[in-house]
Amino acid sequence: MTDVTKLGVLETAKLIREKKVSCEEVVRAYIKNIEEKIVLNAVVEVFDDAIDEAKKVDERVKNGEKLRALEGVPMLIKDNILITGKHAGCASRFMQNFVAPYDATVIAKLRNEGVIFLGRTNMDEFAMGSSTEKSCYGICRNALDTSRVPGGSSGGSASAVGANLACASLGSDTGGSIRQPASYNGVYGVKPTYGRVSRYGLIAFASSLDQIGPITKNIEDNAYLLKVISGKDEHDMTSASASVDDYNEIKSQKSYKFGICDEVEKQLTNLVTKPVYDKIIEKLKKNGCEFVHFSIKDFDLCLPIYYVLSTAEATSNLGRFDGVKYTVRSERADNVPEIYTKSRSEGFGEEVKRRIMLGSYVLSSGYYDAYYNKAKKLQRRLTNQLTDAFKECDAVLLPTTANVAFKIGSKGDNPIDMYLEDLFTTLANITGVPSFSIPCGKGEGDMPLGLQIMCNKFEERKMYEIAKYIEKLLKGENV
């Protein structure tokens, strides 16, 4: 019998259905991996009811009951997504006592399909970071090299899938927090179209940019899971009513037309990883794919725009953490204003405090127009420019990151060094389009690199088809 922990979501469900392996065996195998790879610190809690849930699945199999599509598939969930009765901590000591009173919509949907929730994964505090070094649970490590970061903020979710600690996981992506760690750990991560997936039960960072998405071991699993978690939700008024395609019948065309952004290409010329991307483009051209160039004049402003918009929204969203309703209350507080100020000052980590402060600043009287309003206008212009580009091409290709995963502790005192990690990823969040990061080659230290396939809004189906097409080409298979 092959190692079941190497298998993905759909393969595992099939094996359980065909009685080739018991669900309990699968869950125990993953728990063993989690224990053996404890050094990664990717999983912050293994749920004590996971094995009981697995036994129930095995009962259903034994009794010949009708099994659901993902019956018995163990998944890990980022620490900012609510599962009824489980702790959700956002990797913050401020939230150390919080127990979720309800299921996030994505959790309810996965539960309906029979998924087993194996545990919670490590992350940067309140999803603010690109390395999972800023967590109250301690730093998380890369699945492929423990001296390197797993990326972030969904570092635990990506490292766990890369190290076979679950069939798949869920992460959240506000500026690259699924795609960058997926790239760093050699796995598949998608930031869906804004509105595709309900955010109900996701502890909000920046509500107009946040999306939940799956991190998986292959393209098919990713497409399948996205289909399961997508759809209109009465609990999230920004969830889209757009129909959810059946992404899992992935049939590619003979060739595609790709867009290359001149400003991205200019950034690429400075990168040591450029040859990896050149090779992919070369292969696609040889296979009859066309390339068109377009310009996004404001591309170099993506990061500043992102930091204005995301911190402005964070300052508002994080206002609810006040030491009254669910976070830890300071023992030094004697009156109500002190409860707010002292609890928040003791509870939030330094990065979170700074982002709340920048958000307060850009929204404050006298600065609102110069920062927030300006960023909103630039967001509109960027979106129009990218939408125009999609009139001429099927997808835009760009690297996920500038380089491979960096060494733990190597980013200096200046927070901007870390922010530059999201150079190629924030565009999709600012404009709301879907973007899928797939492994596409290796860089320094034989570490993986990711390629982003970005399509127009609600074109996830095409995005997965193209991902499959590119992956086949890279593997030397016929397309």
Partner 1 sequence: MLSKEEVKHILALSSLEADDEEFEVLQRRLSQMEEFVSQIKNADVDEDVSVEDAVDMNTLREDEPKESYPVEKILANAPKQKYGAFAVPLMMEDD
- Total of chain residues touching partner 1, rule CB under 8 A: 73
One DSSP character per residue, 157-211 reads: HHHHHHTTSSSEEEEEESSSTTHHHHHHTT-EEEEPPTTTB--TTBPPSSTTT-E
Catalytic residue, chosen from 153, 230, 343, 437, is 153
| 305 is a site residue for partner 1 (CB under 8 A) | yes
Eight-state DSSP code of residue 250: -
Secondary element (H or E) of residue 78: strand 74-78
Evaluate whether 199 touches 236 at the Cβ level (below 8 Å): yes
Whole-number minimum distance, CB 207 to partner 1, in Å? 10
**Catalytic residue list contains 279:** no
* Contacts of residue 454, Cβ cutoff 8 Å, sequence gap at least 6: 395, 396, 397, 398, 427, 428, 433, 434, 435, 436, 463
Peptide bond into 183 cis (omega under 30): no
Catalytic residue, chosen from 169, 172, 177, 183, is 177
Residue numbers 306-365 binding partner 1 by CB under 8 A: 307-308, 315, 319, 322-329, 333-336, 339-342, 344-345, 348, 350, 353-354, 356-362, 364
Whole-number minimum distance, CB 466 to partner 1, in Å? 23
| 270 is a site residue for partner 1 (CB under 8 A) | no
| 97 is a site residue for partner 1 (CB under 8 A) | yes
Residue with tokens 């949907």: 109
**Choices 17-25, 154-162, 286-294, 410-418 (CB under 8 A): range interacting with partner 1:** 410-418
Cβ proximity to partner 1, 93 vs 354, nearer residue: 354
| 443 is a site residue for partner 1 (CB under 8 A) | no
- What is the rounded CA–CA span in Å between residue 334 and residue 327? 17
Evaluate whether 21 touches 7 at the Cβ level (below 8 Å): no
Residue numbers 189-208 binding partner 1 by CB under 8 A: 194-195, 208
Evaluate whether 43 touches 122 at the Cβ level (below 8 Å): yes
Residue numbers 102-131 binding partner 1 by CB under 8 A: 102
Whole-number minimum distance, CB 121 to partner 1, in Å? 21
Cβ proximity to partner 1, 381 vs 472, nearer residue: 381
**Catalytic residue list contains 109:** no
| 388 is a site residue for partner 1 (CB under 8 A) | no
Eight-state DSSP code of residue 217: S
Cβ proximity to partner 1, 408 vs 418, nearer residue: 418
Site string for partner 1, 147-186 (x = CB under 8 A): ----------------------------------------
Whole-number minimum distance, CB 197 to partner 1, in Å? 13
User: Which of 257, 264, 186, 197 is closest to 229 using CA atoms?
Assistant: 197
| 295 is a site residue for partner 1 (CB under 8 A) | no
| 415 is a site residue for partner 1 (CB under 8 A) | yes
Q: Which of 3, 18, 48, 413 binds partner 1 (CB under 8 A)?
A: 413
Site string for partner 1, 209-248 (x = CB under 8 A): -------------------------x--xx-xx-------
Evaluate whether 140 touches 79 at the Cβ level (below 8 Å): no
Cβ proximity to partner 1, 77 vs 352, nearer residue: 352
Residue with tokens 């879907």: 434
SS3 15: helix
Catalytic residue, chosen from 78, 217, 227, 468, is 78
Whole-number minimum distance, CB 309 to partner 1, in Å? 10
Cβ proximity to partner 1, 84 vs 146, nearer residue: 84
* Contacts of residue 143, Cβ cutoff 8 Å, sequence gap at least 6: 40, 42, 150, 158, 159, 160, 161, 162, 163, 185, 186
- What is the rounded CA–CA span in Å between residue 62 and residue 94? 45
Cβ proximity to partner 1, 83 vs 382, nearer residue: 382
Say what angle helices 50-62 and 9-17 make with each other, to 10 degrees: 50
**Catalytic residue list contains 78:** yes
Cβ proximity to partner 1, 92 vs 431, nearer residue: 431
| 99 is a site residue for partner 1 (CB under 8 A) | yes
Alpha carbon 112 to its chain centroid, in Å, reads: 22
Cβ proximity to partner 1, 93 vs 329, nearer residue: 329
User: Which of 445, 460, 295 is closest to 385 using CA atoms?
Assistant: 295
Q: Which residues are catalytic?
A: 78, 153, 177
